[in-house]
Structure 1
């Protein structure tokens, strides 16, 4: 639970309802109340009341009495409105598609969503018959290249708020976040991109490079990434081709949108 959940203004019922909506993944063929309870940690009787309410409001839907819940039209409409409000995404689209085609990688944008990085837009290479990541996929912050790029771009003040929001986690993990942030900042300054290498990656089958970007209409950085299977995208290929190409693509997006570097230079 976020650190500010103890504030009297914090609406716990609303927070739990939004937590339920976040529980759904693109690969799900619906979720029952028990599955939602297991994923969110919210007691099943409370889940039952909240899913009933979310269905009544159109954020969830289910066809029959015992059918599983799926995201409803109100959730879809809200997502589309949110996506349309960020102009940089459409500006970046042709740049990221060219990069995907040139490198044979899946290029994408990820944002921090609660305690993970959420894939919100992706561009597949032309004629690609396979997909290794998709919109809605959530990645761990500390073991994904996207999370590393996000952490590396945080200012001291932003990082302090980040640590406060995760104050319920072990001290060694918080120390790990600090070390990752420092390493990522240095890599981005030196190379233009960052990545998680080898056994530290959250997935052995996926490799990626990431570059932070700070949109003017968001309060924190996002991450552009280029990814593929580990067989197709080695660390050497990232360092020699894909990483520098991604850094240049994001620099082009910055020029087109008039944004400065996402990094706050440390004194």
Structure 2
């Protein structure tokens, strides 16, 4: 687990940060996690993980059914997630818009947020009656080599961009110079087209094509990213340019109008 710049501040509560790292280690596809697996995913020593999981279980944030000593998200975490979703109004408002977009374009539509040095998928909308990518809520994507990651870099304010690049340095070869170029290229597309497509030869994996657009909610201090993705054979660059990108752009504009917000990306001084 890489050190956060904030961890050098005396106000930073390391134990709390580690406890939250344990909760973030879980993925929707997991059939529970043992202490050793949590330690491997977080980089926290197993002895420390054991104390954290015991405490989180005692508070209801993890549950432990004694099946091979595996932990699962608990009822307190479910309640906390429901409160968070209810308080961030754009999440529910975006649902019908993004489901319609998924159906019209036959792509998997995603909502992603920054999670430290990576992006975390928090919502997915699958096209009805069409097989789609296996990506699901809880999956993490790198900043480098993804349309979502480059779009987030482009939409960040300068101070957050600088701090994020420091924290993410080295992940899949990310450098400050490379991050700045990705930010500039994505920003240029967002201003001229309204969406961003990272060139496929820069993708971190060859089995996904995607187009992305940021959204800055009044409920949050930093932007999030909406993305449409599919297998390259189903979502060519030409199709992204001609159909999916423009439809994604209009979908996010519709969300901005519903919420009475200005455009999330504007020309910088």
Partner of 1:141: 143
- TM-score, normalised to structure 2's length? 0.92
Task: Note the residue ranges of structure 2 that are not aligned, 5 or more in a row.
Answer: none
Structure 1 Cα separation of the partners of residues 65 and 173 of structure 2:
46
- TM-score, normalised to structure 1's length? 0.93
Residue deviations 1:34-87 (CA, integer Å, cap 9, x gap): 111111111111111111111111111121174211111111111111111111
1:60 correspondence with 2:33: no
Partner of 2:246: 244
State the number of aligned residues: 267
Task: Note the residue ranges of structure 1 that are not aligned, 5 or more in a row.
Answer: none
Where do 1:220-231 residues align within 5 Å?
220-231=222-233
Partner of 2:83: 81
Do the aligned partners of 1:119 and 1:136 also contact (CA within 8 Å) in 2?
yes
2:187 is matched with which residue: 173, 185, 188? Answer: 185
Do the aligned partners of 1:155 and 1:264 also contact (CA within 8 Å) in 2?
no
- Which structure 1 residue ranges, 4+ long, deviate > 4 Å from structure 2? 164-172
Structure 2 Cα separation of the partners of residues 195 and 143 of structure 1:
11
Higher mean Cα deviation, 236-245 or 256-265? 256-265
Do the aligned partners of 1:118 and 1:137 also contact (CA within 8 Å) in 2?
yes
Structure 1 Cα separation of the partners of residues 259 and 76 of structure 2:
31
Structure 1 Cα separation of the partners of residues 19 and 85 of structure 2:
21
SS of match in other structure, 1:64: coil
Where do 1:209-228 residues align within 5 Å?
209-228=211-230
Partner of 1:120: 122
Where do 1:1-267 residues align within 5 Å?
1-64=3-66, 66-166=68-168, 173-267=175-269
Q: 1:8 to 1:265 in 2, by over 3 A?
A: same
SS of match in other structure, 1:246: helix
What's the C-alpha RMSD, in Å, of the aligned pairs?
2.0
